[in-house]
């Protein structure tokens, strides 16, 4: 199973795929993965709320070159005095001036300021952002949690319309890649130290695999995706197939699929 070439020259069984991907999870789900990935941003912090806030910004900005994502996240956090929870709760109007001119791809100062506004309103009444993604234990996936989060996020009557494109929802058939990645960070727990596992009310089995271009390409090559388009149903298709390999923690295979994608598998 160490050679990739013979694996793709014959019809693969679930056992083949499981053995192969388990090996790759062990290879990529390591502390060395952290430094060059957006997950390094929440790893700058220890307090749960700091991890939640830094992680939300890092996941939201996670498209483009990883070094640019990391640098722009660090810039945002420096304007929060590298103390995001205290900043969110106690900032003054003058403290918001640096954010006005922020740019990362299509995410701009208007978006950043609304994120800060939402987080302040939320944390005044709640202890953890996990409460915004609440799902029932009987729910098969996190879908309702993603929908609830978006509805709550835009519950203010004066939200900027442009910011809606930065918070995806299954209701609009989005694969919700970045939010699913954020949830993986917050929910999954193992002894490898990459994911945080600080949210306990959502089960790892309810997570949906984040589907970026690397994950999609490798998953299709391994026969884990058949649908032509990339949307919410395709993310569910992939996750359902990963559950056949590990029903308790299917999204651990995100490490394997993403890492193989970077290796041009």
Mean pLDDT in each 10-residue stretch from start to end of the chain (265 residues)? 51 89 97 96 98 98 96 98 98 98 97 98 98 96 98 97 98 98 98 97 98 96 96 98 98 98 90
Q: What's the pLDDT at 1? A: 41
Residue 78 C-alpha from the chain's centroid:
22
Rounded to an integer, what distance in angstroms lies between the CA atom of residue 105 and that of residue 99? Answer: 15
**DSSP character string of the chain:** ---HHHHTSSPPPHHHHHHHHHHHHHHHSSGGGTTTSGGGTGGG--SHHHHHHHHHHHHHT-SS-HHHHHHHHHHHHHHTTT-HHHHHHH--GGGGGGGGG-EETTEEHHHHHHHHHHHHHHHHH-S-GGGGG---TT-SSSHHHHHHHHHHHT-STT--GGGGGGS--GGGT---HHHHHHHHHHH---SSSSS-----SS-GGG------HHHHHHHHHTTS---SS-SHHHHHHHHHHHHTT-SS-GGGHHHHHHHHHHTT-
Q: What's the pLDDT at 8? A: 53
Residue for token pair 């208007």: 110
Q: What is the pLDDT of residues 159-198, one digit of tens each?
A: 999 999 999 999 999 999 999 999 999 999 999 999 999 9
Rounded to an integer, what distance in angstroms lies between the CA atom of residue 222 and that of residue 181? Answer: 21
Q: Say if CB 213 and CB 244 are below 8 A apart.
A: no
Provide the β-strand partners of residue 104: 107
Q: What's the pLDDT at 2? A: 45
Q: How many CA atoms lie within 13 A of 108 on its CB side?
A: 7
Whole-number mean pLDDT of the chain? 95
């Amino acid at each position: 199973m160490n050679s990739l070439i013979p694996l793709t020259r014959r019809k693969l069984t679930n056992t083949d795929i499981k053995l192969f991907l388990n090996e790759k999870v062990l290879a990529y789900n390591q502390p060395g993965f952290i430094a060059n990935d957006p997950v390094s941003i929440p790893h700058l912090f220890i307090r749960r709320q700091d991890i939640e806030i830094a992680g939300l910004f890092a996941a939201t900005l996670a498209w483009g070159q990883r070094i640019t994502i990391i640098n722009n996240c660090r810039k945002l956090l420096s304007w929060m005095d590298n103390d995001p929870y205290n900043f969110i709760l106690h900032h003054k109007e003058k403290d918001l001036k640096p954010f006005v001119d922020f740019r990362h791809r299509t995410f701009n100062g208007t978006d950043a300021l609304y994120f800060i506004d939402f987080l302040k309103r939320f944390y005044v009444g709640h202890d953890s952002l996990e409460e915004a993604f609440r799902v029932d234990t009987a729910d098969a996936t996190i879908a309702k949690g993603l929908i609830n989060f978006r509805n709550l996020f835009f519950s203010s009557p004066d939200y900027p319309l442009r910011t809606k494109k930065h918070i995806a929802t299954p209701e609009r058939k989005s694969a919700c890649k970045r939010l699913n990645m954020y949830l993986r960070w917050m929910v999954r727990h193992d002894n490898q130290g990459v994911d945080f596992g600080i949210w306990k009310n959502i089960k790892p089995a309810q997570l949906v695999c984040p589907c970026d271009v690397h994950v999609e390409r490798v998953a299709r090559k391994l026969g884990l995706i058949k649908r032509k388009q990339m949307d919410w149903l395709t993310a569910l298709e992939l996750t359902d197939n990963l559950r056949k390999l590990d029903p308790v923690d299917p999204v651990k295979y995100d490490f394997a699929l993403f890492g193989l994608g970077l290796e041009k598998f």
